[in-house]
Structures are given as structure tokens and as C-alpha cells.
Structure 1
């Protein structure tokens, strides 16, 4: 998801700053193994500890609940909500969110399960139901009035990490790419809509 939203621009910045270096960015739906698959760097969201990998967090984001603009926002807590969710979301999951009116717990009732955050976003834009999505993915839709913002997920922000094999030294090309990543997000934060 982040690759589709931001890495085209990040890749362009890198290409303009380092025209002598050829960069290849691969967006995979599967979880790749940088050691076995030979990638110089992988980007992971809230990665589990792995002694084979080292890296650094370069961005924080928040998950927000968005809905079609004509879908009524629930007033009670907890509330059942017609929802579009990722395939991996377990039954009985809830969405505790912070809203301008106070803390609310939503209970998603899946009408559609999809394997990609981009597909979830598209289904919400098409009117299928509400969804819990990264702010980075939907901020422009909220600002343009295409999606209604219902609240921000309670709890800590999501951390996005750049990781590489602990068995390799950090090469000059990888270090240069990490510098471009960190320059793109100097405050390590993507700003979510205000509550």
C-alpha cells in the first residue's frame, strides 16, 4: 500500500539525486524474506522482531475509520457497522476510535473481505461500507470530501520500518536511499486528519 501511494515519488527523488544509480522498487503482496530473496531493503509495517534483520523506523502513521459520505455515523458505543475489512481480520474484532465527541467502539460487521488495502479503499469509495485504513492511504479522499472521516484508532501509531539483512554491511546505495526516505518524512509522521 505505501509503495503505491508514496514510493513512485520517493523513487523519482532518488533518481534525480543519484542519476548514476539504477533503482528498482518491487511492491509485493507477499511477505518477502530479504535474506533468502536477495533484496537490499524491505519496508515493513510494525515488524515482528527478527534477529536476521536490522533497520530503522522512518515513518509513523495512524489508522482511521472512513466511510462513504452518505453513510450515517453511529451515535452509540459499541455500534455495529457495515464494514469492508481485510481478509486476515479475525471475527469479533473491534475498532476503538477517538472522535470529536469522545471515545467510541465500533464493531465491524463485514459485508466484504478483501486481501489488499487498496481494494478496501476502492470498495469504501464505491459505497460498500466503512473501513479502518491507514491515514496515508485516505487523507486525500477525506480532504476532497470523497470519504467521511469518523475517527482515529486509539492506541499507538503504526511504525513503518526499512529493514535489511543483518549479515550485510550497509552499502552506499542503500544508505543514500535511506537518506531520501528520511528526508521525505523529516518528522517521521504522516499527519492524520484532526479529531
Structure 2
């Protein structure tokens, strides 16, 4: 007995309520269909179906077996579809949500190269620092930069995201350079309003850990504006290295307290759970990992 064929046949018999209909769907004779189900019952040692001249009905064991086998066959079909899809040319519209500054600085060139590789994918990139609802708003995936909380989304790490304390040389000449995390309390903090803790930072140096409560004259919901204000000498800020690496190279900004670290977050690709990931989405995520991770070019640049 081909057990997989017998399981498929059993499910079709139950779904159609008829040996004849199930046999036609499987392109086998009714007699063979009956023998396969009988052989399945013999192997299991239980009766799965009540047979009468008028109809078929499931036994209690048959009901449980039908539910489980239906799940198994569904997973098998999904696996086969996934394997086939991987060989297919990715195509179709791909809707992606991404944070504003990361997209402006790094995704422009990236999507150009990606579409050269996959010309049949129509990419729709929406830039927004707000955390969108992927399902409700119809996005296939999102790029998110955070320490992700548990959710119904599947996440794949694209690259690390180092957070740095930075200020301009001119500001430090006027205000003095901090030597310890608590010295930051006396400085003007330029705050990113969408941060989880916008007026508090945690700094770590080996076993030492300092929590610093800050205040300042500027609060903005965009990292580029904050970095520009810091470079102009207004105060200091916490900024991701992907945003300020070129300013650090040019000397417009310098890193503060380099022996102290802000706990690292990461750039992630997230997408809804509970569904087969389309080839178009998988190909874009794979490309982002290839281009940016695990050691992104902005962290390799000399300062």
C-alpha cells in the first residue's frame, strides 16, 4: 500500500462523501479506492468509516484521524508549493514599509540594484517612522530598527544597528566634553521623540551600567534633523551609526564616551506569520541581508 496515496484518498472520500467521486479525482478505480481505505484501516487497526448503502460517516477514530491527516497533507502541499516557488522568477507588486532616514541614506541605491536583478518585481516603498500595521494596511513586509517585542510577526535580522553618542567639536569646545555618563545631565540633549525612552539612556561599560535622565531644548521625530542640529552645535544626540558615519568621517561630529556602549538594537525585516512567504518577499529580504549584514559598510568605514 502507498500510505500517502491512501491518506489522500481517505480525505477525498470524506470530503466528497463518495468512493466513486474520490476515485475519479485520484484517477483510479472505485474497487482500488475501497481496497486502499480498507488496507489503511487494517494497518491502523481501527475502523475509520461507517459504511451503509446510503452514505458514509466517520467513526470517532476516523474523525480524529481525518483532522490530523488533513493538516499533514495541507503542510505537505505548502512545502511543495514553497519548493516550486523558490525556482520561479519572483514577480508581482511588493509593498514595503521602511523608516525614513534609513531608507533615504541606504535603500535608494539598494532598491535600484535589486530591481536590476528582479525586473519583474514592482516595488512600492512607503517611508514612515510610524510602526504600521502590516496586515491592516496591506504591506507585504517592513524594515524595522528596534529591539523587537514579541508579536504575531516573523522577524529576520538584516544588520546590527550601533547607537552612538555624538556632538560637534564646536559644541564640545563651548560646553566641555563629558567624562562620565552622568556628566551628560548638564548638557543639551537633542531628543528623538519616537524612541521608546526618549529622555533616558542606558550606557554599559563592562560590568558597569549607568542610567541617565536627560533634558534639552529640542525634540524631533526625525533622526536626520536631530543629527543636523547636533552638527550645527546645538547639543548632543543619540544616533544610529548608519545615519552619522559620514559626518564622523568628515569631523562634523565626534563620538562621546567611546568606552561606554548603548545596548545594540538591529535592523530587521518583519512579515506576517502563518502564511507561505512569497518568492518576491523572500528575494528582497535575502538581498537586504546580503547587502547590509552582518557587518554593514557604514561600520567598516574609517573615522
Distance 2:286 2:272 in 1: 18
Distance 2:284 2:198 in 1: 39
* CA gap 1:104/1:142 in 2 versus in 1, 3 angstroms: farther
1:27 aligns with 2:135: no
1:125 aligns with 2:231: yes
Which has the larger strand fraction? 1
TM-score (norm 2): 0.56
Aligned to 1:164, the other structure's residue is in SS state strand
Aligned to 1:131, the other structure's residue is in SS state strand
The residue number in structure 2 matching 1:149 is: 255
Question: Can you give the 5+ residue segments of structure 2 that lack an aligned partner in the other structure?
Answer: 1-100
The residue number in structure 1 matching 2:149 is: 48
Distance 1:12 1:187 in 2: 21
Aligned to 2:187, the other structure's residue is in SS state strand
Distance 2:222 2:230 in 1: 13
1:113 aligns with 2:219: yes
2:270 to 160, 163, 184: 163
Question: Can you give the 5+ residue segments of structure 1 that lack an aligned partner in the other structure?
Answer: none
Contact 2:160 2:264 in 1 (8 A): yes
Q: Which moved more, 1:128-137 or 1:165-174?
A: 165-174
Distance 1:92 1:114 in 2: 12
1:15 to 102, 112, 115: 115
Q: Deviations over 1:77-126 (max 9, x none)?
A: 5212112111256586245266xxx9987653311111111221121122
1:139 to 242, 245, 249: 245
Distance 1:4 1:192 in 2: 20
Deviation of 1:173 (Å): 0.6
Distance 1:92 1:18 in 2: 43
Aligned to 2:151, the other structure's residue is in SS state coil
TM-score (norm 1): 0.85
The residue number in structure 2 matching 1:75 is: 179
* CA gap 1:176/1:91 in 2 versus in 1, 3 angstroms: closer
Higher relative contact order (CA 8 A, sep 6+): 1
The number of residues matched between the two structures is 191
Distance 1:91 1:165 in 2: 28
1:174 aligns with 2:265: no
Radius of gyration: which is bigger? 2
Distance 1:193 1:82 in 2: 28
1:37 to 134, 137, 142: 137
RMSD: 2.7
* CA gap 1:184/1:76 in 2 versus in 1, 3 angstroms: closer
